[in-house]
Amino acid sequence: MNKKLKLRVRNSGLLDLKFFKDLPDGNLFIAEARQHVPFDIKRVYFINTLANPKAVRGKHAHRQLQQGIFCINGSFTLHLDDGRAKQRVLLNDPSCGVLLGPMLWHTMSSFSYDCVILVLASAGFDEADYIRDYDEFRTLTRGSRSNDKRKR
Ligand code: TYD
């Protein structure tokens, strides 16, 4: 992933972890709340065994939740859609993740056989915070687009 990449979609951004290259004794990566991710971390989850080349994950947005998503082994493609702009990002560097803020439709695909995804989240699991229907997401973001226009 290019660390100079500009994320054009709203409610997103690059996250840079601190790391120490301790080779040949390994690398150490550190994510501290409010320092390397802009929220207090309330939940951590990870996804592995993504060897199926047709696997697709995500396909939802969150109403409030903020998350930092990292590829800590291998690579995958993250598709972002804020209802207005879309952007595709290749994640292949454990030290460089993406902030998934609220109202950002995200899909993950094209996983390498050895891919491991790590997610840091700002709140506990709450199914009511999910928007899993793309039409509903479009309707909700269309509302905020017309608000944006009124503010101009
Ligand atoms: P989901 O968030 O849809 O996974 P992904 O975005 O990676 O495709 O979650 C898949 C299932 O796991 C869904 O039934 C909800 C459940 N789940 C929890 O119970 N707790 C959690 O913290 C997460 C992330 C998911």
22-31 tens-digit pLDDT = 999 999 999 9
The closest-lying atom of ligand 1 relative to the alpha carbon of residue 132 is: 3
Which SS3 state, helix, strand or coil, does residue 140 take?
Answer: helix
> Which residues contact ligand 1 via a Cβ below 6 A?
43, 45, 47, 57-58, 125
Among 67, 70, 106, 86, smallest CA distance to 8 is for: 86
- Mutating to test ligand 1, I would choose from 41, 42, 45, 80 the residue with most ligand atoms within 8 A of its C-beta, which is 45
Q: How many alpha carbons fall within 13 Å on the CB side of residue 76?
A: 34
What pLDDT score does 27 carry?
Answer: 97
By percentage, how much of the chain surpasses pLDDT 90?
89
Evaluate if residue 144 carries a pLDDT over 90: no
Q: One-letter amino acid identity for 87? A: Q
pLDDT reading at 33 higher than 50: yes
Residue 20 host element (H or E): strand 18-21
pTM for the model: 0.94
Quick: pLDDT tens for 53-79: 899 999 999 999 999 999 999 999 999
Angle made by CA atoms 121, 126, 131, in degrees to the nearest 5 = 90
More confident residue, 2 or 71: 71
Q: Which helix (H) or strand (E) holds 78?
A: strand 76-81
Instruction: Identify the pLDDT of residue 151.
Output: 47
What atom of ligand 1 comes closest to residue 60's alpha carbon? 6
